[in-house]
Amino acid sequence: MDNFIIVNGVLKQYLGADEEIIVPDSVIRIDNSVFSGNSTVKRLTIPDSVTEIGCEAFCDCTVLEEVSLPKHITKLEDSLFAGDVSLKRVTIPDGVIEIENFVFTDCKSLERIVIPDSVTEIGLCVFYCCESLNHIVISRKLESIPCCIVDASENVSEYRYISENERYSYNIWPAFDGCDCIKSIVFPGNLTKIDMCTFSRCKSLKTVVLENGVISIGPYAFSDCPELKDIRIPESVSEIGRNAFEECKMLESVEIPDNVSSISICAFKNCSALRNIRLPNDIDCLGAGAFYGCSALEAITLPKKLTALATNMERKKGIGEEVSEFAYTPFGMFQRCSRLISIEIPKNISIIDVCAFADCTSLEEVILYAGLLIIRDYAFAQCTSLKKIMIPETVKAIERNAFEGCTSLMSIIIPESVRNIEEDVFRGCSSELVIYGQSGSCAETYANEYRIRFKSIR
């Protein structure tokens, strides 16, 4: 008892250097930072008389391996075990309701954790850099797992959405970032949102099961999980955020539920093993770069109700929710889908956007319908297997470099409705290319100017 300074049931200080510590039964609260920085204690037993433990109480206890927590505590306070690099086992009691910020941050030896169903709220960066964590059970009452954003001065802010441009101005500390050993995750039914970057860079994650009830998969939620092969997206999901599965290079098949009405920018960018993806019939918008670099994708059926075939302009929500600025996103929706053989563009599509099918080197067939108005810059650039294409009579403009480098293109029919053909549309195409169109049309004028063979259609 001589090593414990206790005042009115509050443990204020520990003066000893024992490897195993048993806190006296007379203690009802362990004060802030009491054991912080202790470099000798390996095992710590806390009696059930303790109902409160202050923040940072065991922070930076570098050799602490095991803790027995009392059953009557209701909260794990800020940074309680942060920096305990040797901590392997800790049992969270069933009565705990809240886990505050940074509680297990940098617990590099922690392998397993069970968050009991009593927990309804979890703070920022709770498991940040727990690089040995391979098994986690999440409370069924937990509704969200927040992400921490830190500005350049290292001041922690509350969770908020940041735009792509702002993403590079802030340091983002996701809840499980750096948890390189997690292999599988089963989400509880109460969880409604997977927040920004939550499981980004979980290098060993292979399987994710989302229970019905999840509504939103946030930006970068599973980005750069190179071993992720299997994910079941439940029917309750209505939103898939930008870059949500970017760089998931082992992901082979995805079925998008019918409730999803749009897929954001670069959602599946560089998922190079993705062969099959089912899109719901009612989806009306696909973001730019949604399937950029999906080099194993051979075929995809675009929904008939689709009205926007990618937009390369993203509305910036930023720190506030109502910002009207736009940011350019330089990725075509199917750009570099090098095994895609054919594509049928739905009738409701009015614009094929910048680089939409650029570098689709196996693309042989493109079916376009009346209603299409504009083919934008580089839309089909470097489609080296494309041999012929017929432009619908509703198209008004073909923008610059739209068919650049289409070395197998032999014929294109351009209707009289096209009044604007910009420079270098057919740059690098075969010398055998023939443009078919009406005499006196813009198509004939363009062909003559660029010395491309022209044949009149009567």
pTM of the full predicted structure?
A: 0.81
Residue 424, token pair as written in the block: 């270098």
How confident is the model over 174-204, as pLDDT tens digits? 677 667 888 888 777 778 888 888 888 888 8
Residues 6+ apart with CB under 8 A from 393: 370, 415, 416, 417
How confident is the model over 68-99, as pLDDT tens digits? 899 999 999 999 999 999 999 899 999 999 99
Asked whether the predicted pLDDT for residue 222 surpasses 80, the reply is yes
pLDDT, residue 452, reads 97
CB 158 within 8 A of CB 135: no
How confident is the model over 378-392, as pLDDT tens digits? 999 999 999 999 999
- Cross-strand partners of 239: 216
Over range 51-57, report the average pLDDT: 97
Domain borders along the chain are 1-127, 143-297+324-333, 341-458
Among 67, 122, 118, 69, CA closest to 95: 118
Looking at every residue in the chain, the average pLDDT score rounds to 87
Asked whether the predicted pLDDT for residue 271 surpasses 80, the reply is yes
Phi and psi at residue 120, to the nearest 5°? -110, -10
- Rounded CA-CA distance 75/282 in Å is 44
CATH number, domain 1-127, options 1.10.10.410, 3.80.10.10, 3.60.15.10, 1.10.540.10: 3.80.10.10
pLDDT, residue 190, reads 77
Asked whether the predicted pLDDT for residue 318 surpasses 60, the reply is no
Residue 220, token pair as written in the block: 């970068």
Indicate the CATH number for domain 341-458: 3.80.10.10
How confident is the model over 396-445, as pLDDT tens digits? 999 999 999 999 999 999 999 999 999 999 999 999 999 999 999 999 99
Asked whether the predicted pLDDT for residue 152 surpasses 80, the reply is no
Indicate the CATH number for domain 143-297+324-333: 3.80.10.10
